[in-house]
Amino acid sequence: MQREEDTQYASASAAHQSMHAGHNHGPPLDEEEYDDEEEEDYDSQDDEEYEEDEMDAMTEEQRMEEGRRMFQIFAARMFEQRVLTAYREKIARERQERLIEELEEENRLDVEREAKKARELKKEKTRRNSRSKPKKRREQNGEAERAAEEAAQKALEEKRLEEQRRKEGRATKET
């Protein structure tokens, strides 16, 4: 703000000087051209009008200077508002990007956890299958052995029954 005021006063004083520099008067009239009569005609009313004109000119000059100052202040505030708005938008974008990154990271971790769970379940299933395969084989082997034993017992039973029939058939023939 101080720099703005310094700039305003510097430009205002430069403008003030340039106004006076461009305001040239002709060379003063020679004394010979003055008449004593003219001096008598000169009255204080003309002097007052000159002072009023000068005051009006100063007032106009002051108005211009004040207008310039007001414009510079307005322009500085507009610039400040633009910068502030741009800064706020930048901060909002950064926060939004951070939030998106956090959400993506969270999703990635969820996917990794699910993949890890799936791998562990698959490993466990494979282990169970590898453990149960020998068990199944044993069960199948045991069933096969039992079936073989049963078949052998049936065969023995049939053989025995057949021998018994033969014996009975011989005995009936002999009698």
The token duo for 55 is 């005051």
DSSP the chain: -HHHHHHHHHHHHHHHHHHHHS---PPPPPGGG--HHHHHH--HHHHHHHHHHHHHHHHHHHHHHHHHHHHHHHHHHHHHHHHHHHHHHHHHHHHHHHHHHHHHHHHHHHHHHHHHHHHHHHHHHHHHHHHHHHHHHHHHHHHHHHHHHHHHHHHHHHHHHHHHHHHHHHHHHH-
pLDDT tens digits along 40-97: 555 556 666 666 666 666 788 899 999 999 999 999 999 999 999 999 999 999 999 9
Q: Which amino acid is at 79?
A: F
Q: Which amino acid is at 104?
A: E
Do the Cβ atoms of 39 and 88 come closer than 8 Å? Answer: no
Most confident among 46-60, 101-115, 118-132 (mean pLDDT) = 101-115
Alpha-carbon distances, residue 15 vs 18, 56, 60, 62 (angstroms)? 5, 17, 13, 11
The token duo for 14 is 């430069």
Residue-averaged pLDDT of the chain: 78
pTM of the model: 0.37
